[in-house]
Amino acid sequence: MDIKKYAAIDIGSNAIRLLISNIVTKKGNEPQFKKSSLVRVPIRLGEDSFIKGFISEKNKDRMINAMNAFQLLMQVHGIEKYRACATSAMRDASNGDEIIEEIKKKTGVEIDVIDGKTEASIIFSTDLSDVIKDNHSYLYVDVGGGSTELTVFSNGKIVSAKSFKLGTVRLLNKLGNTKEMWKSMEKWIKSNTKGMKKIILIGTGGNINKIYKMSGKPPGKSLSYIYMNAHYKFLKQMSYSERISELSLNPDRADVIIPATRIYLNAMKWSDSNKVIVPKIGLADGIIKTLYLSEKIDL
């Protein structure tokens, strides 16, 4: 038996995460990916990037502190390999490159800024074989703070994929021409799912994971459109403070969960899907898997 320790840093628009995983390999068996630790820091970079166009000095300092902390945690855990990926907020920030350089100098952490297509492909590297069946059609929806990644699968193959600048932080702050972006997303979904029957949504992202946990459903069960719609109305009728005090939502989750639910609901409506499955995978999981696969290729 061989055990390796890898780490993934996901620098999103709403939060920054460090995932530490053990990869257990045994001759003749498939490798097992076991999560050892997950640290989430609520640095909402999207509010800087999407509103001001740059990352503020305050949030830059918070990022540097977070990377220093992550670097120490990786040392304590004995991490052999890591990768840090930044998404929409850092892509759009005018000072993104200089912040990445400063972080590298002060913490030693190297950050890759990835586009929406790369983000989706990294997430797809996780094992979706238990979810995707060859005789079904699926609409994969990953909702982030700055963008939503959509992919249509049919007969076990990718039909089409697109990234939309329609994320929870953007919607919350009414940034850009959201009306046109909604229309564009609706047109794309309807066009790329036309003629497909009984489409199943695959939902990923922190908000859909939280919705699934709140539903109390056992692992592997789907959420219906009726449930999602009722849950959306339930959340909307509560105030921000009530969602924190009565539902025990984190302050940085209590606001974005509403626009996120709206995106999933619209995706279900436009694809004529009546259920969503939530495999609880994300960018960090994909980074761990790609690190392992790249090592196998190098060997």
CATH label of the domain that carries residue 239? 3.30.420.150
Pair (107, 7) in one structural domain: yes
Do 233 and 141 share a structural domain?
yes
Q: What is the pLDDT of residue 198?
A: 87
pLDDT for 35: 92
pLDDT digits (tens, 9 = 90+) for 216-268: 998 889 999 999 999 999 999 999 999 999 999 999 999 999 999 999 999 99
- 195 and 144 in one domain? yes
Domain that holds residue 189: 127-280
Q: In this prediction, what percent of the chain has a pLDDT beyond 90?
A: 71
- Predicted confidence (pLDDT) per residue in 173-222, tens digit: 888 788 999 999 999 999 999 999 889 999 998 999 999 999 999 888 99
Q: Answer yes or no: is 157 within a domain.
A: yes
Distance between first and last Cα of the chain: 18
Shared domain for 102 and 170, answered yes or no, is: no
Which distant-in-sequence residues (6+ apart) come within 8 Å of 170 by Cβ? 46, 50, 145, 146, 176, 178
Confidence of residue 298 (pLDDT cuts 50, 70, 90): very low
Are residues 71 and 193 located together in one domain of the fold? Answer: no
Tell me the pLDDT of the chain averaged across its residues. Answer: 91
Q: Are residues 84 and 153 in the same domain?
A: no
- 100 and 203 inside one domain: no
Residue 121 lies in a domain: no
Q: Does 268 lie in the same domain as 169?
A: yes
Answer with the residue of higher pLDDT: 299 or 66: 66
Structural domain includes residue 19: yes
Span 165-178, mean pLDDT? 87
Of 84-93, 122-131, 151-160, 203-212, the one with minimum mean pLDDT is 122-131
Q: Could you tell me if 138 and 249 lie in one domain?
A: yes
Confidence tier at 296 by pLDDT (50, 70, 90): low
pLDDT > 70: percent of the chain:
97
> Is the pLDDT at 9 greater than 90, yes or no?
yes
**Whether pLDDT at 53 is above 70:** yes
Contact 201, 273 (CB under 8 A): yes
Give the pLDDT of residue 128. 67
Task: Assess contact for 87 and 283: CB atoms under 8 A.
Answer: yes
In a domain, 122, yes or no: no
- Specify whether 274 is located in the same domain as 292: no
Domain count across the chain: 2
Instruction: Give the tens place of pLDDT for each residue, 40-52.
Output: 999 999 989 998 9
As a whole number, mean pLDDT of residues 114-133 equals: 76
Say whether pLDDT at 299 is over 50. Answer: no
Residues 148, 264: Cα–Cα separation, whole Å: 10
Q: What does pTM read for this prediction?
A: 0.86
Inside any domain, residue 120 = no
6: CATH: 3.30.420.40
Per-residue pLDDT, averaged over 67-79, amounts to 97
Quick one: 71 and 157 in the same domain? no
Mark whether 73 and 25 lie in a shared domain: yes
